[in-house]
Chains A and B, each alone.
Chain A
Amino acid sequence: MATVYFDEATRRFTQNDPPAVDAVTLDIADGEFLVLVGPSGCGKSTTLRMLAGLEPVDGGRILIDGHDQKGVRPRDRDVAMVFQSYALYPNMTAAENMAFALRNFGVSKADADARVAEAAKILELEPLLDRKPGAMSGGQRQRVAMGRAIVRNPKVFCMDEPLSNLDAKLRVSTRSQIAGLQRRLGITTCYVTHDQVEAMTMGHRVAVLKDGKLQQVDTPEALYDRPVNAFVASFIGSPAIYLAEAAVRDGHATVHGLDLPIPRETAARAGSTVTIGLRPEAWEVVPEHTAQSVAVHVDLVEVLGSESFVYGHPVAGDEKDRITVKLDERTKIALGDVVHVRPEVERTHFFHTESGESLRA
């Protein structure tokens, strides 16, 4: 068990291009499950690989348990990694795959076998121990890869999109298994994903990256409720938040005929325009048009059973301007309808139009 500290860690692949990981400073507590999330190419995998020692650190430093890892070889870091492809040794059985690291680190055969048996029990791998990866399903291989990491009882787990090769159903069940396992073992974990549902459901805290820069690190709830900028607001949350540029007049933001009062301290920071953000649940369907509502032409209705989402564009606005409204199960709306929706003022996010920064106090 260990703490991990990224101190302005930077990785440049080429001198002239912007860094793939740009001065990331991040503190991971002992036993914490931290999720690194961001779109493709944001540097999240590179950040993880720097921690594992598979990528050099070109600037800043990375500390594990307070020790600078500069020049420390991957095998000497006591970090176990689960790869996206699982990277199992095809010539070894599941048991040999799991015992490989233990034997390399000088654990006796009997001890290694005992630890493999224990891990196999936890992961329900016992019937598969004598099978080679080629004879296993994707989910089984994934569990062997997990087993290979946990038998080592390392200081840090690094997981690089370990669920992305599983089918949707298996992904959901494995998600909770991994989260549960991590809480049980209490090993500091750094988990990379591009899937914000994984990020929100698994981590104690979530770090959002964009273009190699850390945007925000916080609990999933805080990221959702108090995003520091428009990027985090749009990345976290599914379906995505509705963002629109609104003109500011007399302390009100006006867009599509809506007139949203801006809180006084927020208004002080806003310029002549402001970007408003409204999540699907921040809208309410009203029976008829009012000064506070906007008419939306329904383009798509997604019924998910317990809830449904309406996707539409403002009748007065552009078709590309997409508003998503969450409905409860009782409200029935058909494709092509025009509905009137009213935003809840207190759930409205305000962002600076140019910088995208949140205008919250």
Chain B
Amino acid sequence: MSTHLQVSQGDRHRTPLMSVAGYAAMIVVVLVIAVPLFWILITSFKERQDIYVRPAQYWPSPATTDNYRDTVTSIPFPAYFRNSLIITALLAAAKITLGVLSAYALSLLRFPGRNLVFLVVIAALMVPNQITVISNYALIAQLGWRNTFQGIVIPLAGVAFGTFLMRNQFLSLPGEIIEAARLDGAGPMKLLWRVVMPMSWPTLVAFSLITVVNEWNEYLWPFLMSDNEKTAPLQVGLTLLQNNEGGNNWGPVMAGTVLTVLPILILFLFLQRQMIKGLTAGAVKS
């Protein structure tokens, strides 16, 4: 009896040592993420000669915004930014639509071979992108789609992760509500839009956010597909910037990096609230 009590109390109140270890681990994780970001940010405000100095400068002095001006003027930054927006928007829209629709079909519609299709989709998750790059490149180049948006977007629009995530979400919905909607005369599309989707917002927001971040950061394929400002996204632009600067002028590159990260950071700040709201609503649902 007394042993039980001790064990359960031990579970609830950690020893100070365990708390310290826990916080130490958290601090390490935060540092791993925060230090590079901090370094990027301060470097972007340093003058060129202050970047490589010993001892290192932990605060830009004097601070300058020249790097930002250089970035925007030495490469066609607005064009790359526009391309990034277009590619991310197209890809996110395609992936979210395909993910939701395929997940819906694979979870709530009944048709022969449904589980087989799902297995194939899961198998696709296990094939690394890099393996398909060469054959995709050959195909797209043959179609004459290099330096076009469709050449960048279409090969990337396939979705397995979203199907998997949304299917599990749809399967977790109470079956009786789906049945009630069927009895209430809701057809497949109405069932999806009026009943299934409104109950799945938190997962959809999470999925959308992950998708947008991933597509914004997409590098390898756009880099292979485009080499000019007509279609290349910011990530490729940054590489060109780095090449332009001869590989040792980090100020403008860091400034470009900050500008590239900023839109995603803002998006995250907005959607994060949505996500947390959705998650807690799910947690307290009766």
Which one of B174, B181, B194, B199 contacts A85 once the chains associate, using CB atoms below 8 Å? B174
Kindly identify which residue among A79, A85, A90, A105 contacts B176, using a CB–CB cutoff of 8 Å.
A85
B11 contacts chain A at the CB level, 8 A cutoff: no
| B interface bracket (residues with beta carbon within 8 Å of A) | 10 to 19
Asked if A75 and B185 sit within 8 Å, CB to CB, the answer is yes
B198 within 8 A of A: yes
Asked if residues A87 and B198 are in contact (CB atoms below 8 Å), the reply is no
Selected contact of A87 from candidates B179, B194, B286, CB within 8 Å? B179
Shortest Cβ gap from A105 to chain B (Å): 5
- Whether the Cβ atoms of A89 and B182 lie closer than 8 Å is no
A169 vs B95: C-alpha distance in the bound complex, in angstroms?
Answer: 52
Interface of B is mostly: helix
Give the distance to chain B from A164, nearest Cβ to Cβ, in Å: 13
Bound: A225/B180 CA distance, A: 38
From B183, B187, B195, B286, A89 is in contact (CB under 8 Å) with: B195
User: Which one of B174, B176, B183, B199 contacts A74 once the chains associate, using CB atoms below 8 Å?
Assistant: B183
Q: How far is the CA of A84 from the CA of B177 in the complex (A)?
A: 11
Q: Contact at A100–B194, with CB atoms within 8 Å?
A: yes
CB contact under 8 A between A52 and B285, given known A90-B199, A91-B198: no
B97: min CB distance to chain A, Å? 21
Contact B184 A148 (CB under 8 A): yes
> Are B177 and A87 touching (Cβ within 8 A)?
yes
Question: Are B177 and A89 within 8 A (Cβ)?
Answer: yes
Neighbouring B residues of A83 by C-beta, 8 Å: 176, 179-180
Which B residues contact A (CB, under 8 angstroms)? 174, 176-177, 179-187, 190, 194-195, 198-199, 285-286
Q: Note all chain B residues with C-beta closer than 8 A to A116.
A: none
Q: Which residues of A contact B176 (CB under 8 A)?
A: 83-85, 87
What separation, in Å, do the CA atoms of A58 and B177 have in the docked complex? 24
In Å, the complex CA distance between A201 and B190 comes to 39
* Residue pair A105, B185 in contact (C-beta under 8 Å): yes
Among A88, A91, A92, A104, which residue has its beta carbon within 8 angstroms of that of B190? A104
- With A75-B186, A104-B186, A134-B285 known as contacts, the answer to whether A89 contacts B181 (CB < 8 A) is yes
Given A87-B174, A89-B177, A104-B190, also A80-B183 (CB < 8 A): yes
CA of A81 to CA of B187, assembled, Å? 17
The bracket for how many chain A residues form the interface is 20 to 34
Best-buried of B174, B190, B285, B286 by chain A (most CB within 10 Å): B286
In the complex, A87→B180 CA distance in Å? 7
Contact yes or no, A79 B183, CB < 8 A: yes
21 residue pairs from A and B, CB less than 8 Å apart: A53-B183, A54-B179, A73-B182, A75-B182, A75-B184, A81-B183, A83-B180, A85-B176, A87-B174, A87-B176, A87-B179, A87-B180, A88-B180, A89-B194, A89-B195, A91-B198, A101-B183, A101-B184, A104-B190, A105-B185, A134-B286
Contact at A52–B183, with CB atoms within 8 Å?
yes
Which residues on B sit within 8 Å (CB–CB) of A100? 181, 184, 186, 194
Partner of B179, one of A74, A101, A104: A74
**CA gap between A241 and B246 in the complex, in Å:** 96
What are the 8 A-B residue pairs with the smallest beta carbon separation, nearest first? A91-B198, A101-B184, A104-B185, A87-B176, A87-B180, A75-B185, A83-B176, A87-B177
Bound form: Cα–Cα A85–B190 in Å: 22
Apart from A79-B183, A134-B286, list 9 A-B contacts with CB within 8 A. Answer: A53-B183, A74-B183, A75-B184, A89-B194, A90-B285, A91-B198, A104-B184, A105-B185, A148-B180
- On chain A, the residues within 8 Å of B183 by CB distance are 52-54, 74-75, 79-81, 101
CA distance A89 to B178 in the complex (A): 9
B170 to chain A minimum Cβ distance, whole angstroms, is: 15
Q: How far does the alpha carbon of A101 sit from the alpha carbon of B194 in the complex, in Å? A: 12
Complex Cα spacing A66 to B51, Å: 88
Residues on the B chain within 8 Å of A85, using CB: 174, 176
Q: CA separation between A100 and B186, bound complex, in Å?
A: 8
Name B190's closest neighbour in chain A (CB-CB). Answer: A104
* Chain A CB within 10 Å, residue with most, of B181, B198, B199: B181
Is the beta-carbon distance between B174 and A101 smaller than 8 angstroms?
A: no
Measured CB to CB, the nearest residue on chain B to A133 is: B286
- Which residues of A lie under 8 Å from residue B181 when comparing CB positions? 89, 100
Residues of A within 8 A of B194 (CB): 89, 92, 100
